[in-house]
Amino acid sequence: QVQVVESGGGSVQAGGSLRLSCIASGYTYRRNCMGWFRQAPGKEREGVASIDTLSESTYYADSVKGRFTISQDNAKNMVYLQMNSLKPEDAAMYYCAATNDGWYGGRWCPLRNGDEYNYWGQGTQVTVSS
């Protein structure tokens, strides 16, 4: 049984940094997509970043490019989201998700809305004060 667990959320001031961590256990596929998504109250879920665990190709939402970095540690089955220069609009519940069904548009794991992800964590809250 696959389990996805996030950690690392918290409260920071604008301009600060946080690193979110995600561990996916029970996953046996050689190639997975791991993604970070967020949802603020009253808004739709938004893809933040994704990574192809085999090629390590990464994809980002335009709103976070240059500020957020997704990375992985395959030995530990961990995926990270380093978030720098945080803005109040980054505040949301952040979710980590996994899928082995991420082939789309000729690529593995392009960032989409998350419907292709079938394993989700419970979320970790990020609050950014101005």
Q: What is the tens place of the pLDDT at every residue in 106-117?
A: 999 999 999 999
Residue 127: pLDDT band with limits 50, 70, 90 = very high
Q: What is the pLDDT of residues 12-54, one digit of tens each?
A: 999 999 999 999 988 767 788 999 999 999 999 999 999 999 9
Question: Residue 65's pLDDT is what?
Answer: 98
111: left (phi over 0), alpha (psi -120 to 50) or beta: beta
CB neighbours of residue 18 within 10 Å: 21
Residue 90 has a pLDDT of 98
pLDDT at residue 104, rounded to an integer: 93
pLDDT in tens, 65-88: 999 999 999 888 899 999 999 999
| pLDDT the model gives residue 43 | 96
Tally of residues, the chain:
130
What is the mean pLDDT of the segment spanning 86-113?
Answer: 94
